[in-house]
Structure 1
Amino acid sequence: MPIQETHFSFPGQTGFYKGKVRDVYSFANHPAGPQLVMVASDRISAFDVVLPRPIPYKGQVLNQTAAHFLRATADLVPNWLLDVPDPNVSVGRQCDAFPVEMVVRAYLVGHAWRTYRDGGRTLCGVHLPDGLKENDRLPTPIITPTTKAHEGHDEDISRTDIIARGLVSAEAYVQLEEYALALFQRGTEMAAQRGLILVDTKYEFGHVDGKIYLIDEIHTPDSSRYFYREGYAERLAAGEPQKQLSKEFVREWLIANNFQGKAGQTVPDMSDEWIGQITARYIELYETVTGQAFEPAPGNDPLGRIEQAINGYLTK
């Protein structure tokens, strides 16, 4: 049974926030310091809109993929993760989030390509050279930040504007850039070991007592795009679409059905067959990027299972 949403109430809970995908429970007075319990639901969003039907096992895929990469990059950047008490649950430090997302791009795809195709040569203050084609590798990875909107659409923003508007101090922003590029390099190396290309991704950061932490998820199908390395050059030369693992196929389906999250547009109906295909693609990504077999969590009573796991963590 897919997890559309949760409505738990835990001892010591001090807050609740429902994101596009995650339900977040806060425990500001936890003995070990302020903590967050994040439940990865099976909701799916695209163009900053939560689609009406959940995707079975999507939350588990996101949660376990993120945990895999957070543990694999902890030597590079301190991160928020403390425990994973359930396949759909992560527990970590409660941080004050920076109001920007650090998007790192190594290839001209997606939003960057659509901007370039329509004549744009500057993205978030970064100049792009003439003569590039869709899916081309960029001369060097670039950072194209966005604002982090609680509601509505995130917006592109430049490094200069972030600092000028006081969203992040100049000193902290330099550190965020260094962390983002180091994480992307590690992600690129790990992807290559699995026969993949890490195309682009986003990172979010927060701070506690002056220390910066990597927060939320990393290198998941919701936050990242991967190409299969085998056949990349041949497909590029032939002008063919790349074989990829990401959520882009959902966006492409929505675009083909006249939905991009704009006013007046209606989300197209999602058939059971299409839902099943999305689930299969998410599981494929998990197994491909982590090298681990996917083991579905028991599904008869997922809410009861999750509530029991969280209570078990809180009473440790």
Structure 2
Amino acid sequence: MRNVYLFIIISLSLFTLSCATAQVHRSAYVPLPQPSMRSGAPSQGRSMLTAGAMTLAKQQPVEEMTDIVVNTETISLSTGAANWVPRSQMNLNWRYRFTKNFDMGIGGEWGLAAGKQKTYTDDLNLTPKGNVIGIGLSFGYNFEIDTQWAVAISGEYLSFSVPYAKQFVDTDLISPIGEVEYGNETVGVYSFSIIPRMMMGNATVFGGVTFRNHPTAPKLEIYSNGINVLADNNVESGSTYTIITIGAEFKLNPVLRLLVMAFQPVTTSPVKYFPMFGLGLAWDMGAAPRYQTPVTPADGMPPAHGAPTPANEPPPTI
């Protein structure tokens, strides 16, 4: 029934435009919609290096007609998104602490090609080649409420190289024409997070919400002519996902912390995700800032030459 409905729309549109058409199938290997790998706690050193991975447990294809646009230049029709997503997505971030509560840094995400999952169904098995890789900038600011509670905000912008596959199809929208085109397209991914946390001795419990756009590729598009195909993007920036996070961070030693987190994207289009999990290590690099080290009389300068010596202490040596 759905195919009949699509053919009716296409036929009426082509009759109205009275032009030749180009039908294109696409698919793309896009990054997982993940929160920033951080608990919100600032580094205990001058900078912090975080490394870890996010793991996808399960996803469910979402098949629906998402967009139909007809005008004098192009017919754009989509029967859902055509995305592949990583089973495992690596994370690496370095952040420099400019003040007690503010940091900025660089970071990246790397979706491994091995084990990637298809999030849609169709008659063509277009499989993008290569890994999905993003690199960019991040910032974070910490608001201390008291000695136990705090809230952090963080933001990221990553520029991703997204692999895609594209193929022209016949008017039956199924039979392929020509060879499959493989390539990469640059897509920006932004995120903003609010992360409340609570200190519990050597552990920190945190949660929060993240807003992040989800790159996507339209599964099927129909154009009034081939020129419009060349001008159109193969991968779109996509809609904004809302992601709920909960996690804990454990202090292993004075400079190393273990980060464990679980998160659930509550947005379900273009892909419906089930809970995902993350595991990482945070390394506080460099000496602690001076404002973090209290100065006590024992840490102070020795008495000047000729000054009285405190009781029960030996005189200074020369």
Give the TM-score normalised by the residue count of structure 1: 0.29
Structure with the higher strand share, 1 or 2: 2
Larger radius of gyration: 2
Greater length-normalized contact order (CA 8 Å, ≥ 6 residues apart): 2
Give the TM-score normalised by the residue count of structure 2: 0.28
